[in-house]
Amino acid sequence: MQELTVCVGESCHLNGAEIVVTRFQEIIERKQLSKSVKLKGSFCIGACCEDGCISVRWRDRILTVHPDHALEAFEKEVLPQIEEG
C-alpha cells in the first residue's frame, strides 16, 4: 500500500487542505483504490508552498496542489503510478 500525505498544517489548512483531502477521498472511493492508497494527513511535510496551494507527499515527491485542481492533480500525478503498480 502506498501513502498519499496531505499537509494539514496551519498554512495549508487556511489554503484549503480540507478540500484537497475530501477530493482525494472521493476519487479513492470512486475508483476503489483503498487497498492501494492510504490517505494521511500531516501537520507539516516541510515544503510550504505559495499561491494558495497545498503540499502533498506522494512517493518520493512533493506536489503542490491547488484545491480547485485536486481531482486533476490526483488523476495526473497519482493515478498513473498506481496503475503501473
Of 65, 81, 71, nearest to 27 (Cα)? 71
φ/ψ of 3, rounded to 5, equals -100, 135
pLDDT tens, residue by residue, 47-68: 777 777 899 999 989 999 999 9
Q: Are 66 and 52 in contact (CB under 8 A)?
A: yes
pLDDT tens, residue by residue, 3-58: 999 999 988 898 999 999 999 999 999 999 999 999 999 998 877 777 778 999 99
Q: What domains lie within the chain, and their CATH numbers?
A: 2-84 (3.40.30.10)
Q: What is the pTM of this model?
A: 0.88
